[in-house]
């Protein structure tokens, strides 16, 4: 693969600017100086309302924890009566903990919980934290036959998609475990999926998140949970790309075949939607598939492989060098296996692949929209005074904002751009009204100023910068 193309892909992923309007969080500032212990923590956000997915399975408990100042979080899937597990890793860059224990194929590879988290490798702290909470709460002990076992996997949600280095930690994970409830899972930008995106390979950079689905056939139950942070695009059942910030000239009804068929040209931000070449057959999503039918290690491993393979229909391409795709297959063992006991493993795997596709589709939250600047804005003196100054978002990201000739300009003060605001040249901020500004481009972008802070992309994915001076 051409190195320049991959460099552009990495830049597109890092430079994603996402926006959704609504509540502006007032959590501790993500300025690189606020300790993790001082951050505002929300637990089980999304457990009510349209994003809450309900399913009937008391043996599965779910808890989520989030730092809104990130935003980032973790999702704990707890099995109070323990369960058996196998794992399949497909992506080129997986981040897991205790995976070797599963790979050894013991007859009883039991576990208490699986933790899915943001924060890249720093987020793996959440899995060990859930395990120590089990012994602290006396649910497990130090006896060799009663030691807690927790698995964990992470997604990359730092870099340019967030302007700070906040990560889900011990405090967050243990609170999520202790608040876990049966039969409910928030879908969209919650928990581990709080700052997930999809489609970075082609610059789509769609808001993504976590999803869930459930199906019951007779006594057999199947549940799927996933956090979609894929380099590839999410594909609907009718073969359309589900969400993409497209360049002008791209097909109106975009399909994965348009993108894959035009690669590597389609991986370049300047691709105009033509020059269809032969498809290059190259395909971080972390997932859990659960069944209540008892399975031995070989059956569970085969279930993991079959379902993980099926996910290449819903995410295209899948399991690339830059993905960290991992799937856990879990059996709660409530229904016996053997002749006359219902569906065989291959049949369960086939159904489970469809349930997982449903879960992936449900992970996509409401998408952001572009703002339209005013034709002839007349900035008030108060708007100008409020905007100008310097703002710090994180260790490597800060802005300088100034007024010149009746216009507002901004420039990144660090080595990296701040979303649509460049580091090497001034960027004009166009007024939308009432102290809100935008920078037109492929990705929605907004910045709003107040007395002591600047909020980039107010709403669900807000990034808050603290005023530091002029």
DSSP string, 13-57: HHT------SPPP--S--SS-S-GGGS-EEESTTSSSTTEEE---
The CATH number that domain 35-362 falls under is 3.60.70.12
* Residue 282 pLDDT greater than 60, yes or no: no
- The model carries a pTM of 0.90
Mean pLDDT over the full length of the chain:
88
Q: What residue spans in the chain does CATH classification 3.60.70.12 cover?
A: 35-362
Determine the pLDDT at residue 29.
41
Whether the CB-CB separation of 272 and 290 falls below 8 Å is answered with no
Phi, psi of 29 (to 5 degrees): -65, 140
Determine the pLDDT at residue 415.
85
Q: Report the alpha-carbon distance of residue 303 to residue 88 in Å, rounded.
A: 9
| Res. 334 pLDDT band, cuts 50 70 90 | very high
Q: Report the alpha-carbon distance of residue 222 to residue 96 in Å, rounded.
A: 24
Determine the pLDDT at residue 349.
95
State mean pLDDT over 275-279. Answer: 34
CB-count burial class (<10 Å; 0-12, 13-18, 19+) for 125? buried
Question: Angle 6-11-14 (CA atoms, 0-180°, nearest 5)?
Answer: 125
Question: 111-162: per-residue pLDDT in tens?
Answer: 999 999 999 999 999 999 999 999 999 999 999 889 999 999 999 999 878 9
Question: 181-229: per-residue pLDDT in tens?
Answer: 999 999 999 999 999 999 998 989 989 999 999 999 999 999 999 999 9
**Check: CATH 2.40.128 for 381-469?**
yes
**What is the set of active-site residues?**
284
| Res. 25 pLDDT band, cuts 50 70 90 | very low
Question: Among the listed ranges 171-185, 302-316, 377-391, which one has the minimum average pLDDT value?
Answer: 377-391
Q: What residue spans in the chain does CATH classification 2.40.128 cover?
A: 381-469
Q: Which of 117, 147, 124, 145 is nearest to 134 (CA)?
A: 147
Q: Report the alpha-carbon distance of residue 201 to residue 384 in Å, rounded.
A: 39
């Amino acid at each position: 693969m051409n190195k320049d193309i991959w460099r552009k892909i990495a830049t597109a992923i890092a430079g994603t600017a996402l926006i959704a309007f609504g509540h502006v969080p007032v959590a501790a500032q993500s300025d690189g100086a606020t300790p993790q212990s001082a951050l505002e923590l929300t637990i089980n956000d999304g457990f009510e309302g349209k994003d809450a997915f309900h399913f009937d399975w008391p043996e599965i408990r779910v808890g989520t924890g989030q730092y809104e100042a990130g935003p980032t979080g973790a999702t704990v899937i707890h099995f109070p009566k323990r369960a058996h597990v196998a794992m399949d890793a497909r992506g080129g860059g997986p981040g897991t903990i205790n995976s070797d224990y599963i790979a050894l194929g013991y007859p009883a590879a039991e576990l208490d919980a699986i933790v899915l988290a943001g924060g890249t490798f720093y987020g793996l702290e959440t899995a060990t934290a859930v395990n120590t909470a089990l012994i602290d709460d006396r649910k497990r002990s130090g006896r060799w036959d009663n030691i807690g076992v927790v698995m964990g996997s992470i997604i990359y949600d730092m870099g340019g998609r967030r302007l700070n280095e906040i990560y889900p930690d011990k405090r967050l994970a243990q609170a999520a475990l202790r608040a876990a409830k049966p039969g409910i899972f928030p879908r969209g930008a919650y928990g581990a999926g709080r700052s997930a995106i999809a489609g970075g390979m082609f610059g789509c950079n769609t808001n993504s998140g976590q999803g869930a689905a459930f199906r019951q056939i007779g006594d057999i139950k199947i549940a799927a949970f996933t956090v979609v942070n894929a380099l590839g695009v999410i594909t609907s059942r009718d073969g359309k790309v589900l969400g993409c910030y497209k360049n002008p000239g791209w097909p109106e009804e975009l399909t994965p075949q348009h993108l894959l068929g035009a690669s590597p040209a389609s991986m370049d931000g300047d691709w105009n939607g033509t020059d269809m070449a032969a498809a290059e057959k190259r395909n971080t999503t972390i997932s859990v598939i659960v069944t209540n039918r008892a399975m031995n290690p070989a059956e569970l491993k085969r279930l993991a492989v079959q379902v993980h393979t099926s996910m290449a229909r819903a995410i295209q391409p899948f399991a690339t060098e830059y993905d960290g795709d991992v799937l856990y297959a879990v059996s709660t063992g409530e229904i016996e296996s053997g002749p006359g006991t219902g569906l065989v493993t291959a049949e369960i795997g086939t159904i489970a692949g469809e349930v997982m596709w449903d879960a992936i589709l449900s992970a996509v939250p409401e998408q952001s929209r572009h703002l339209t600047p005013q034709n002839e804005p007349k900035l008030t003196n108060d708007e100008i005074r409020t905007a100008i100054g310097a703002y710090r978002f994180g260790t490597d990201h800060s802005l300088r904002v100034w007024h010149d000739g009746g216009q507002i300009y901004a420039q990144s003060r660090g080595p990296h751009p701040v979303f649509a605001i460049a580091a090497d040249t001034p960027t004009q901020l166009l007024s939308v009204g009432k102290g809100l500004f935008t920078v037109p481009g492929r990705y929605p972008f907004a910045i709003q100023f107040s007395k002591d802070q600047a909020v980039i992309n107010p709403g669900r994915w807000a990034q808050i910068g603290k005023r530091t001076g002029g």
